[in-house]
Structures are given as structure tokens and as C-alpha cells.
Structure 1
């Protein structure tokens, strides 16, 4: 069949559905059938799944003209999804095509949720089209004779590539693809990505730096001008002294009419604890919503989550309070409205959430922005600009993640073994390891066989043997079993399951929250008040309680920080506060009372100014700096400045920071002028000052735990018999200390420091921020009392010490005094 005839089959199918294919879909079909590789950039809900399932099936028809009568079994294409939740949707789309076109192709799923029975069936005969996750792909590579399984595979599609890029799962994908390129003769590699700033680089990472695939590739952009409308919910009465979490719930009454006027509404919160609180409060105040509103977050059990997703599809729920667990690809046509509670901290995340409403080609997406304190309205205005100018963040890919490489080489050694001279060129072609040196490669091979230099007398670190012909192979069955259990790069804080005493499973919570509870304590989780009884094994036993509580589990993920793009947009928006009124957005105008109050004591900074405020309260001397760079940068910058100040005057400070600025609180006054004269914001010696100021050893030690787990130096335990987090922490800390004292050139030890500075403290961004401040005029204001800008930072520090009720009283008193 000619290409024209094949494409005609697809067009006919679309016509029968009453649809018309988009130009980007046809362009992708043609490119694929011509044998090209590529990256498809398309927004959620635009038909991207059909853009790639179709050419895969058409290609099969082309090579098997008698496809309706004869069928050759075996794997023909792999579709990788980062989220298990999406696999059902993707499977339905594929089956619709294979069945309507009367091919006899089978579609299967293989993820962590796949039953043992189904896996055994797949071992005998693989489905023609397989939907799987990065981890499950590597599990297949760890099975014997995997090359036969993949031999006739003609395509690999990586969905939601922007989500994997810039994470170790992305590196895992690069390595998996590097192997498939060699094993499958006619492989086409395609990625699907929503909008990110660095699309060209994303394509390079997917296909491999300097690879022949990159030269024969195409970037297809779906230019669908999806209309996104952002509406801010502006409070009737504007608070002049804002603080986090207080305003949000006051706007509850504004949210209910929005819910009532829509078929289905998703309320996105940034954290699971916020999700729990909102769900409780809506039901408390509006009991008539019982049965019509549900909650969805990653720690609730799978059955409940699936039930909620299905209930949204068949429109039996009015509203769902959720977290990023519903960010990606779950395809809900009936969702009309999305409400974002609090700043989403990044443009891409906000657009992704907006796209959940009107999830159909050509439909308008409406997203309401509900601020949790007044300053967040500036974020709302910045978001509207971002949407208008489609300004989105870059995703920065990892380089030289040796832990992932060690895991991958062990995977190959567990299956059929590997020859280093064959694998090295494949690895050099990936983006992550393009700069790996011969010397580093040799070190890694030695590590696989002997463990590291300082551990070579311990047999447990010797996993791989070198056979006579030079093949690296794992011959010990126990090593193979343990390795397969631990394939993957997601290392969270250990999760403890929450169960009723009689055995009903409710969900899972991070271990560090449970470790703070005593028997009898009551906390809110999954929409219920639960009394903690005891911990048994890896489960926390609880019973229902009628007592009121303000304890809500907080998860580490709640510490989101601004992206660089977001900080830049926020500063630009804030600077408009000094412009004539007609040039201001609705949000900035509504903040006028707060800006007037700010100007009484201080200033609202302009583009050429950097603001520092100092004042004294009963807590001590407050010194507040406003870079507006996001929490992660302020964490690094505050300790850097505190360290530099301590060199000039012996002083101890406690630090507090949020997305707008940071505070140094001390018992003695700091002479700001003296330290400014000493070039406080210089980038000279930045790295060494940073290492001394932050307990960089402590941070690297925490990072090293993940590296030790991913590289397999520390075993996390068998399913149901997990190793407690504190044991993992202590075994990885022992290794860290051994390397620190006896082997500081160990690549994994060094990697812990690189990752701490590059990914956690974003050293590059910190440097740029310091350079920007050095160019600005520094305005230092000695204030009599706290200013509206400083209020969220001070109250955030109090939050750590006081319970919610006491905090609200204390802040009421503070506000009364200030106004």
C-alpha cells in the first residue's frame, strides 16, 4: 500500500467518528511512515494519542497486506507512560483503532498494578502493543533473552516526556532507549511533550546527543490556539497584613456558587494537607454537598482513586478537591471548571491544570485563581501574562547520574550479561553520559565487580562476575532477585500504610509525620478524623474519632518553590504597582490598600531597586531582604549572607524564608551599612562560602541516601517487609562517612554534592540572582514596625512553633496593634 492509501484509511476512520484530523496529526503520520523519529509538542486534550497510535497500526498494515486473515504474534510497539493511572485511557484509544480497522492486534498493559497471572501470560506471548512505565521496561530488560522479546519492535513512544525530562526517570528512559536502538533493527523513537521552554533540547535528550536518529528527526508542533481564561477571585475586603492560609478559607463562600454553576469542578491544592483541610471545611459549612464531593490525592488507596476518576467521567460528582495526582493526562470531558487554590509556583503546572477543563479540541479552558494571602494576587496577575505570552519554563536534564547507570548495567548483567566494549558506545550516545570518560567507565566496571576501593573486603558489594570471554554477568540468584525488586529511581520518604485495627486500608503517609504522633493523638486523613493507636510492622493502626483536631499530615512535597520563569514574571508584575492606574491589572489595583500601608513605613520596590527592611519586635531584631526569587534560592541565599555577616561580627541568626524574601532574626542589631560596604552580594567565593554556610555535608548525606538506594548499595527490603527509613538512613550514612574519610574520589560520593548544589540549591540561579542584585540600587529602610511585605515571612516562622488556633489569635493581636 502507498502512503496515500494508508493515510486515507486513517482519514476515513476519523470521518466515521464525525471528526476531522488536525494538520499536526497528519504531519506526524507522514513523518512516521517515512521512517523518521521525532518529538510531538501538543497540549493535553488535543488528540495526541491518535497522532501516534495510528501510524504504528498503519505501518503494521503496510508490511502485512493480509493482516485481516493472518496474524503474527509478538511485540510490535511500546508506549511508555510516566503514570500508571493513564494506562487504561491509552489502552482504550489503541483498541478502538485496532478493532475498527479489523487488525488482530492485541493491546496489553504492564505496570506495577499488573497481576501476576497477566505477567505470566505476557511471558509466554507478548501483546502486539504494550503500554508500560520506565520501571517496567527495565524489568523486561532484566529478563533472560530479552533481545528476542524486542527483536520485532518497530516503535517506542514516550508520553508526557516533559514530565520525565529533568528527572532520573528521564535518565532511565535514555538508557532503555539506547539499548533498544541496538536490539530492534527498524526502531522509530517518538516522544510526546506538552509545552516546555527548551523543546529542541528535549528532542536531543530523547534521541541521544550526536546520534544518527537525531539527524533523521522532526519536531512537530500542534499550533492549536487553545483559549485559556484566568479569573482571579478577589476578596471584597482586602487585608493589609497578609498571611498564608488565612485568606483562602475566608473565600469559601465565593467558591460555592462557582461549583454550583458548573457540571463538575476540580479544586487543585498544592499540598495533600491543604487538600484534606478544604475537603473538611466545605462539608462542615455546606453539609448538602455530602455524597457529591470527593477527594483525590496520591496517598489515598487505589480503589478509592479509581472510583473518584470514574465518578468524574459519568458526572456523578459535583466537585473533587485534589492535588497534582490529577495534573496529568487523566482525560475528563465533563470537567467545566478548575479552581487553583494558592499560587501553583510554576507556569507549566498552571497551564497543565487549566487544560483539565474544556478538555476537548477547540474548547475554552477556564481556571479560577484563589489566593491564600493578598500577595498571591500578584502571582495571579503574573500568571495571566504568562498565559497571554505562552511563557513556559525549561526542564534541565541531568548529567552523569552514575547511580542510574550502575543500576542499568546491573540490570543487563542480571539478564543475559553484557560486554563493556559493546555497551560503552551506546552509553556515550545518550545525552546524560555524552561526556563520560574512559577512566570513569573503568571505575564503574570495577565498582560492579568489586564494590568500591574501601569496601572490597565485603562480599555483599560484589555483585557482578567477569566470565572468561570478558562478559559481565550476575550468576548469583539472590542478587538477581533483590535487584529486580529495586529497579527504579523514585526514592521517597518511606511510606507507612494507614489501616483500621480490623484491617481496612485507608492510604499511606510519610513515615516522618507518623513518627511525631503519640498513641491517642487525633489527625485528619482521607477526609476522616482518625485516632492513632500504634505502629505495627509498616502499618499505622487507627480508629475513627469524633474529636476535633488541627493535626493534618504534611508531606515533603509541600515545599514547592517558584521556578525561575515564575520569579521573573512576579517581579515584572510587582513593579507595575508604581505605574499609573490605567496601566495596572485588576489584581494590582485591588492591592492598593496594602501598597499604601507598605509605603507608610517603607517602599514598593521598582526594577532598579533592591529592598532591605529592619525593625525590632519582642522576638528580636528583624532584617528582611526581598529578592523575589522563590523559596529554594532564598534558602541558599539566606545562609550564604548569614555566614558572610558572621565573618564581620560574631552574631547568631535564625532564618525564615518564603517565595518573596527571607529574614535574618537576631538578638543583636546588624549594622546593614557596614556589611553592604563589605560587598555582601558578591559572587566571588560563592561556592566555598555556600559549602561552609550550609551544612552541605548534611544535605549531601541526605541526597546520598537516594543515590545509595538507586545504585543498589543499600537494599530497601522485599515487598511488605520494607526496611525502615531510619535503617536505610543509617546504613547509607555509614557508607557516606566511610567514603568521606577513606575514598573521597568515589564517583557516587561526589555525585551527592553535585546534585545538592545543582538541583537542590540551584547554584546557577543563585549566582544570576546575586549578579542582578549587585546591579541594583540597595534601599535600606529602618522601620518602626513590621510592614505588609514582611508579615507573611514573620508569621510563617511563628507557624512552626504554634498550633493553628493559637497562631490565629496571636496574628489577630499583631494585626490589631499594627492597624
Structure 2
């Protein structure tokens, strides 16, 4: 691609900072000048965001305007997955805009934006608006959206890998199609550092037609290669790598020393609970009173903004955080990133590593802290993948029907629409390129009446078809109801945590709050609080010096990627590579190899052995927690049917342990692939899974409203409503569009049926069954979980380790069996 002419204002600004315009930045400007969409894949710190905005800055440079006035109205949309990222980008863009003297106004818009500012932004929009997919969809639901976006020139999608394969990506793809219809010359730009399949994302970005995606319309730009990251795995001083647990609290003294030795450290955890738990342990070790903060999605907007501001000003020495800061946040003073526990994926790890230094020519420094021995292997696998430049990612799949229903309603709120025209527009997005007219008609009928079984109820009538064939709202009030309830993220119902004076600390799950009584204490937002009262949707607390319980958050478990799982299996069988491991980990694997065998990359190892009066079977699937949970339910059901008297099961990402009163002589019949055809549907239908999935799609599809003017339904009320409707539909309309959508979610998100099917196929092809007389070394990490699965994870690690030591005595004796 021929480099573009860089406007002198931009060239001088780069030179004044001692920088140069990098090749990929110039190529992004050239792509825009040639009228093309563009997909940029570049390392963290390569100036991706600036590259995405360079054509926008150039359009406002006096040298390009040649005496003309700057463009009026909304010129560029920036869409990010995180509100924190949008605010960070705003901070970082304002500096070059001011220093170049450009007449360019930049604002953010999200759920946190005050309503008066949102109204003003629609009437007098800034030149650049930084927003999220959900807020963009809401903007498109207003009648004035046709005017607002009429002159839109560019949409910049940052961290595109965080959108495209999920429901938020479906919503964004539909929004892009609508924007393209409003502003046909609009250019699409995708940015990412960690995509495994750049061509696939290029295809997602391209507008679709009857002939498929026009890939030639999307320039593929690859960034300059940056410095290799410096990665290290932290090991216990003079002690063994733990058998079980995942909080890695053993590392707190060593971690504190690293924090004290660096300017600013980001400590990533995989759950909000662990963020709170580890923050408290760090604070207890903080003898020097170093400024250490905490950041996660359940904290109040004010608390998050305060911490983000302090980090931007360089006032914190450490920040404990979750995925709320995974993506793109640019704090140049961060010189060390710590990953507590297993990274779960090489792309996720690389993304987090990139938060350190955030400069292309300087290596990012990262420390991986495994909580147990399997997590050590996972950390090694992720470290190797990052060094080899290997990424992992999710596969593309057809768009979700509940998201399409929400989009249809948004379009109706903006004004009457023609069915054929809207179908063509929807098909121009990759997730819905293959939707047929009948499926689209079913979605329309659902939005119009609720479906065959619900059409008698007026409250489900939202749109109606006119005689001329156009569709419109049944009543203007429907628009307000839609905007109050639209969105893709359906969290567990949360209650506000507030002091009596009204100051908000954040939110906790409703089911956690329901377990609390007046006088109970818990740790939240870095302080211990005591419950004073629970009323409506608020938990009123006061500060306390008493001991505290720890809140446990659900629904946030990060999945082990297939790519990383495969690498862990390869490590297990690469005996020559064990020399890189600590002595105790190497001994663990050697004794396992002696006493049993190691699971290979292409087989399924099943060990059976007696323990404390029960018969156990451990299945080494490496399929992730969701798939293993599903397999455990199906296996125990088959055991029950065969009279094997199952007692229960526990699972982690790597293995599944099932026990019962009778020995499993042959596990093959329990793992036959027909289990998915015969028992899977019955289990999902009879369990809570399909009901839970239906609750989510009913909320996303607009069938059940969470919010009404001046009032928000509790989680209990929403669940009651969705359960009633679910029972009606299962009986009278089992092929309802939302039942279909719920099944899709249950298969993909909740049960991970694709990976479960791979496990069963592997078992059918190569099942290795080893009969033992006692627990094996590799089984210990999952065995110590028995009886703990209902307890908040992390809080009882010491007890787990004591139990592990008792199992270790049985597992690590190396005399031959028999």
C-alpha cells in the first residue's frame, strides 16, 4: 500500500515528541484516503488507537482543509468494549488535538453519561463520540438517528476480538449495517493486538452481499513488530508449588516485594471475588502504607473513576483488577503486570501483558503466579504460546435471534420500516448473512405479538403491520420501554451497597445479599462493612472493624481455551521438557508416569480407584469447567440408570472426578457419543439450565422487562415472570423463537456442548482406562475439591492444602502396585 501524505500538523507533532509516524499508521491513513475499510492487527504499544484516529485528525488539519471550515456534525464513532477504555482514549486523544490546535470536539457516551448530556449530544453532537455497542444501539433507536448519522465518515472498533464472536458483536454488526444504510460512504475500522484469525475478523468487518463479504473493500494492515515481552513464573521461596487452590495467597509476601520495587504494578485476577480477596491480603502485608487500589465491574462509577484518575496521574503503586481493565487502557507508568492464577488463554495473557510499559520498542514485563500445579503447567503453556506468537480465539457462529429481535425493536422505535428492506440490511452483517426469510418472519412475529402462544395478551404487542406492508410501533410508549430495557449484558441481579448517607460503594449479587442478616459483615471495595438494613434494591451498610465474610460472585468463570488446553497436554507428554519445571512438579509427573500414565494430546485417560469406602473415576478431559460440569451430570445420570449408585462429582478445567458406591469396570459405555442425542436434551430440559438461558434471552429479546419508569424489578420478580412464560411456551409452543435462542445459549455458553462432543469422540476413538489401588498424583488437585464446590473458592485454601497433604502420602508412594 502506498503511504499517504502525512499532514504537516501531524508530522510536526510526532517530531516534537521525538517519535516517528510508523508504517502501519501511515497505511491506515492511506486506506482511508483510498476509500477503504481497514483491519489493523498490531502489538500493544504500537499506537493502534492513534492509527485508527489518524484519518480523523487529518480531516481536521488546516493543511487538508485548505481554508475550508472544519466538518460539522458527528464525523467519527469510536466503539469500545469497556467504558473505562473509552474514557482513557478520550484523555489520550485530547492531548494531540490540543497540541495540534485542531477544532475537534471529543466526548464519551455510555450508561454512566448524565441524561441531559445524552440529550444534548443528539441535538448538537461532538465531532468524535466514544461509546459502547449498547449505547450505539440506543442512539439508533431515536427518530433523529437518520439526521445524527447522515454525515458519519468513520466507525473505529477498538479491541474487535472482544466483540465479534459474541452477542455484543451481533448487536454491533447489526448497528454497523444500519449505519452503513444511513451513511453509505462510512468507513469501518477494526483494531486488535490479539486476533488468532485476522482474515476472519476482516470478513466480519466487511459489508456482506449476495456474493458474500467484499474482502477487497477491507485493507489488511499489519503493525510493526515490537519488543518481545519479558515473562516470568513466580515460584514459592523454598516451598512446593501447591497441590490445590487457585487464590495463590502463598505469593503475597513475594508479590508485595515486587510492588515495592516497581513504580506501578497492575495485578490481574480472573474474578471479582479474587480481586477483593487478594486486595485484602496485600493490604494486610502493606507495612509501608503504599497506595494500593482495587478496580472491578461491581464498584460504583465514582469509585472506578477515582481509581482510574489516580492511575492516570501516577498516584498508585499497585492496582488489583479484573477483566474490567483488560483492554487497551494506556497507563504509561505501569512497569509490571501480574497475572494471579491461571491465564486461561494466550490472547488474554498477551492483552494483559500489554498494559505494562505500553510502548512498542520497550519490552513489557509480566509475572505469572500459579495457584496450583496444573495452573503452573497452564502458565508455562501460555508463556510458550506468547513467545511463539500463537494466539487463541473463539469461532464465529450465526447471530443470536434474541439480539436480532432487540435490533428490530430499536429500528421500529426510530420509525416505520419496510420488512424486505430491513431483511436486506440485516443480511449485510456477517452474523446474519445466512438468515432466511422464514426465520426473519418468525422474529418479526415474536416482536409483534410475543408468538402464537402469547398473542392473546396485549402487553406483548409491540409492533404492528400496516396495510402498505410497513411495520410501526403499536404505541409511542413502546419506545421508552425499549430504551429502558435494551442491552445485551444480563448480569446476575445486583443490589446497590450504600452507606446511610447515600454514598454508593457498588453492587453485590442479590442472592448473596439475601443470605445476609442485620449485623453481618463482609469485605467490599477494600473496606469491611456491617449490614444495617436491606430494603428494595439497596443494602445499607456502615463501616466496621469486625472480622468479615467475603462476597462470592458468580457467573464470571473464565474458560480455558482449546488452544491452551492442547498445549498443557503436550507439556504433560514432553518428558524431555520437564527439565524446565520445579523439582516438585517434575517429581509429581514422574510418579504419575510410574504409577499410572499421563494423558496424551489425542486420547482420553480415565483412572479408577477406591478411596475411603467409595469408588472413584477421574476423567482427564482438559475441556474446561463448563464441559466437565455437563459431562459430570450426564455420567452420573447414566451411572444411576445402570445401578452404579453415584455419589456425586467435582470438576475443574482439566479433569472430572465422579464417585459412587459401586466400581466402574468399564467407563466406555458411560461415554458413548449417543449420550448427546439421548440424554443431553432431557437433562438440559429438566435442569435449571434451559430456564436460566430462557431468562437471559427473554430479557434481551424484550419479552420481559427489568426496568419500568421509576421502578426496577428484582431478580426474583424477573425469574418468576420468565418461568411462567417458559412453562407456557414449553407446553404450547415448543418451537418458539426464544426457546430456540435459549437452546443455542445452553449448548454454547452453559454446557459447551462442542467441546463435550470432542471429549466423547476422543473417548470413542482412544479411551485409556487405568485401574489403580489408590489415588494417583494427577488426581489430587481435583480430589481435594470434593465437598468444597459450594464454598466460596479461595477462602479455604489452607484447609484444602492440608487435605492435599494427606492425599499426597497415598499418591506419591512409588512402589509398584499389585
Task: Find the aligned partners of 1:512 and 1:81 in 2 and give their Cα distance.
Answer: 31
- Counterpart in 2 of 1:689? 679
Matched, 1:791 2:780: yes
**1:735 to 1:94, Cα distance in 2 relative to 1, 3 A:** same
SS where residue 778 of structure 2 aligns?
A: coil
Q: 1:449 to 1:783 in 2, by over 3 A?
A: same
Q: Is the 8 A contact 2:780 2:808 kept in 1?
A: no
Match of 2:736 among 736, 746, 758: 746
After TM superposition, give the deviation of residue 601 of structure 1 in Å. Answer: 4.4
Q: Give the C-alpha shift of residue 123 in structure 1.
A: 3.0
Paired position in structure 1 for 2:762 = 772
Distance change (3 Å), C-alpha of 1:514 and 1:440? same
Question: Closer, same or farther in 2 for the Cα pair 1:501/1:604, shift >3 Å?
Answer: same
In the TM superposition, residue 542 of structure 1 has moved relative to its aligned partner by 1.6
- The equivalent residue for 1:531 is 530
| Residues 339-488 of structure 1: pairs in structure 2 closer than 5 A | 339-474=338-473, 476-488=475-487
Task: Name the counterpart of 1:38.
Answer: 38
Equivalent runs, 1:546-695 vs 2, <5 Å: 546-549=545-548, 551-576=549-574, 579-580=575-576, 583-587=577-581, 589-598=583-592, 601-607=595-601, 610-618=604-612, 620-666=614-660, 668-673=661-666, 675-676=667-668, 678=669, 680-684=670-674, 686-694=676-684
User: Relative to structure 1, is the Cα distance of residues 426 and 591 closer, same or farther in structure 2, using a 3 angstrom cutoff?
Assistant: same
Q: CA deviation at 1:97?
A: 4.4
Residue pairs, 1:183-262, within 5 angstroms: 183-210=182-209, 213-239=214-240, 242-245=243-246, 248-262=248-262
Residues 750, 606 of structure 1: alpha-carbon distance in 2 compared, 3 angstrom cutoff: closer
CA contact (8 A) 1:448 1:463 kept: yes
**Worse-matched range after superposition: 445-454 or 91-100:** 91-100
Normalization by structure 2: what TM-score?
Answer: 0.93
Partners of 1:5 and 1:321 lie apart in 2 by 43
Question: Unaligned 5+ residue runs, structure 1?
Answer: none
SS at match of 2:697: helix
Is the alpha carbon distance of 1:764 and 1:212 closer, same or farther for their aligned partners in structure 2, counting shifts above 3 Å? closer
- Identify the match of residue 752 of structure 2 among 762, 782, 806: 762
Q: Deviations over 1:115-167 (max 9, x none)?
A: 23322322332112222211221222111232121111111111111111122
Q: Which residue does the alignment assign to 1:492? A: 491
CA 1:590–1:423: 2 relative to 1, 3 Å = same
Q: Which moved more, 1:750-759 or 1:8-17?
A: 8-17
Q: How big is the shift at 1:7?
A: 4.7
Whole-angstrom distance in 2 between the partners of 1:74 and 1:169: 27
Rounded Cα–Cα distance in structure 2 between residues aligned with 1:390 and 1:590: 29
Corresponding residue of 2:21: 21
Q: CA deviation at 1:334?
A: 0.6
Compute the displacement of 1:805 (Å): 8.1
CA contact (8 A) 2:500 2:540 kept: yes
Partner of 1:55: 55
Q: Quote the Cα distance in structure 2 between the aligned partners of 1:321 and 1:719.
A: 37
| Matched-pair contact (CA < 8 Å) for 1:32–1:55 | yes
Aligned-partner SS, 1:800: coil
* Total equivalences in the alignment: 805
Distance 1:354 1:459, change over 3 A: same
Query: Secondary structure of the equivalent of 1:315?
Result: coil
Deviation at 1:753, TM superposition (A): 0.9
Shift of 1:417: 1.7
Deviates more, 1:191-200 or 1:88-97: 88-97
Task: Give the superposition deviation at 1:590.
Answer: 4.7
Shift of 1:765: 2.1
Residues 657 and 264 from structure 1, CA distance in 2 versus in 1: closer, same or farther, beyond 3 angstroms?
same
Measure, in 1, the Cα distance between the counterparts of 2:97 and 2:429: 33
5+ long unaligned stretches in structure 2: 810-818
| TM-score of the two chains, using structure 1 as the length reference | 0.93
Q: CA deviation at 1:493?
A: 0.7
Q: Is the 8 A contact 2:43 2:226 kept in 1?
A: no
Shift of 1:436: 1.4
Describe the SS at the equivalent of 1:453.
Answer: coil
Residue by residue over 1:643-664, the C-alpha shift from the partner in whole angstroms, topping out at 9 and shown as x without a partner, is 3334433523311101121111
Q: Determine the C-alpha separation between the residues in 1 that align with 2:312 and 2:62.
A: 36
Residues 436, 381 of structure 1: alpha-carbon distance in 2 compared, 3 angstrom cutoff: same
Measured in 2, the distance between the counterparts of 1:217 and 1:188 equals: 9
Q: Secondary structure at the match of 1:615?
A: strand
Q: Structure 2 matches for 1:108-127, cutoff 5 A?
A: 108-127=107-126
The structure-2 alpha-carbon separation of the partners of 1:527 and 1:373, relative to structure 1 and needing over 3 Å to count, comes to: same
- What is the distance in 1 between the residues matched to 2:102 and 2:244? 61
In 2, Cα distance between the equivalents of 1:585 and 1:178?
54
Q: 1:772 to 1:311 in 2, by over 3 A?
A: same
Q: Tell me if structure 1 keeps the 8 A contact 2:303–2:505.
A: no
**Alpha-carbon offset, residue 544 of structure 1:** 2.2
Secondary structure at the counterpart of residue 432 of structure 1:
helix
Structure 1 residue 734: Cα displacement:
1.2
Task: Classify 1:764/1:13 alpha carbon distance in 2 versus 1 (closer, same or farther; 3 Å).
Answer: same
Q: 1:88 corresponds to which residue?
A: 87
Contact 2:8 2:63 in 1 (8 A): no
Distance 1:401 1:443, change over 3 A: same
2:719 is equivalent to residue 718 of structure 1: no
CA offsets, 1:625-653, max 9 Å, x none? Answer: 21222212212222333333344335233
Matched position secondary structure for 2:671: coil
Q: Which residue of 1 aligns with 2:287?
A: 287
Q: Are the aligned partners of 1:613 and 1:783 in contact in 2 as well (CA < 8 Å)? A: no
RMSD: 2.6
SS of the equivalent of 2:139 reads: helix
Instruction: From the superposition, tell whether residues 446 and 800 of structure 1 become closer, same or farther in structure 2 (CA, over 3 Å).
Output: closer
For 1:587 and 1:541, the matched residues in 2 are separated by 50
The CA distance in 2 between the partners of 1:664 and 1:20, in whole Å, is: 60
Distance 1:626 1:461, change over 3 A: same
8 A contact 1:24–1:221 mirrored in 2: yes
Aligned residue for 2:373, secondary structure, equals coil
Which residue number corresponds to residue 138 of structure 1?
137
